[in-house]
Amino acid sequence: MQKLKNNLQDIISWITSKTEQLIIWKDKNIKVSKIINIGFSITFIIFLFVYLKDDARLILGILTDIKVKYLMYGCVIYGVNYYIFFEVWCILLDSFNHNISVIHSLKIFSSTYFSKFIPTPVFFYISRIAQMNKFGINTKESFKITLSEFLYQLFSGISILSIINIQIKKPITYFGILGLLPLFFLLIFSQETNIKNTYGKNKENIKKIFRQVVLIIFEFFIWLFGGLFFRFILHSMSLATSSFGFKIIMNIWILSNVTSMIGSYLLGGLGILREFTLVLLLNDYFSSSIALIIAGIVRLSLTIFGVLWASVNYFSILMIMKIKHRIIK
């Protein structure tokens, strides 16, 4: 166990040094990255136009009949998830013994949230780490916190995917419970010191372990609300979902997002892996054209709602800080 931990620390140290180099590169080549991202976006739009032009009338009918009410429900659900994500991040900060005020934490979280919509997670990591550096958290610690945030979300998604596909009449599926193991090991690794110190009945360490367990519960709720968000998107397009229940919706939603999360790190991420997976999975229930439109609206909704909630929180925090500054003066 100790040897594995040392190897992980060596890997993290190497990645940290590369991340610091990327921060410098990003500052020097920000225009290049924008051109690349715009190029990918234009290429994808052209592909959609060529592929969907034959079904233009059907697609136009769906788009003109969008039910805004369900989109608003989706926006509210997205907002709930936004604050759960924020609470998860605050718990991680606390577990790594970093105390940042709620206002400053929300400012960091919201300001770096925008970079989530840029293809490839590199820019998100760089912006999050750069902001955390300003509050005295070194690059290595910042990377560990941000990586933990990703791993908890990934492994909780895999766990839910494994558990919801357990079938009582098929004992072989009982092994799905093993999907919880990655979460268990992640908890042990991240809280090893606090777990050892609980033998001394240190209440503070017990509290931190408890908060980490609460974090895992929050992650489950994030995926649950994500599936509900996806369902509202389908309803907004007046698409019948009676042919498949919420379990299938959860399967499609989690599998497409988990694939995107893994692929974005292994392949560098072009930003359309989730949409590509959605189209493949939805092809069993809708035509290819409809599946593409669903994936496109999901992407558009996630981006608009994400920017909206991040903007509201970021500018609200700026206003609060400005008012506080005036009061102090």
Tens digit of each residue's pLDDT (9 = 90 or more) over 253-303: 999 998 888 776 654 445 577 888 888 888 888 877 788 888 888 988 998
Cα angle 92-13-123, degrees, rounded to a multiple of 5 = 65
Between CA 69 and CA 119 the distance in angstroms is 29
pLDDT tens-digit readout, 190-203? 554 444 444 445 56
Work out the average pLDDT over 236-252: 78
Encode burial over 170-189: b for 16+ CB neighbours within 10 A, e otherwise: eeeeeebeebbebbeebbee
- Residue among 139, 151, 122, 154 nearest 12 (CA): 139
* Model pLDDT for residues 134-172, shown as the tens digit of each residue: 888 888 888 888 888 888 888 888 888 888 877 766 655
**Which of the four pLDDT bands, split at 50, 70 and 90, describes residue 321?**
confident
Residue indicated by tokens 């290595």: 140
Q: How many CB atoms are closer than 10 A to CB 155?
A: 22
Residue 25 — pLDDT band, cuts 50, 70, 90? Answer: low
Q: Which residue did the predictor score with more confidence, 207 or 129?
A: 129
Query: By percentage, how much of the chain surpasses pLDDT 70?
Result: 62
CA-to-CA dists, residue 202 to 94, 197, 207, 300, angstroms: 16, 6, 9, 48
DSSP output for 129-151 = HHHHHTTT--HHHHHHHHHHHHH
- Angle, in degrees to the nearest 10, between helices 2-28 and 122-133: 90
pTM, to two decimals: 0.77
Q: Which residues pair with 199 in a beta bridge?
A: none
Task: Give residue 32's Cα distance to chain centre.
Answer: 25
Pairwise pLDDT comparison (246 vs 175), residue with the higher score: 246
Q: What is the pLDDT of residue 178?
A: 59
Tell me the C-alpha distance between 165 and 182, whole Å: 17
Q: Which two tokens stand for residue 53?
A: 């032009």
Q: Alpha-carbon distance 106 to 112, whole Å?
A: 10
Cα three-residue angle 49-51-56, rounded to 5 degrees:
65
> What sign does the dihedral 307-309-311-313 (CA atoms) show?
negative
Distance CA 33, CA 40 (A): 11
CA 145 to CA 311: how far, in whole Å? 23
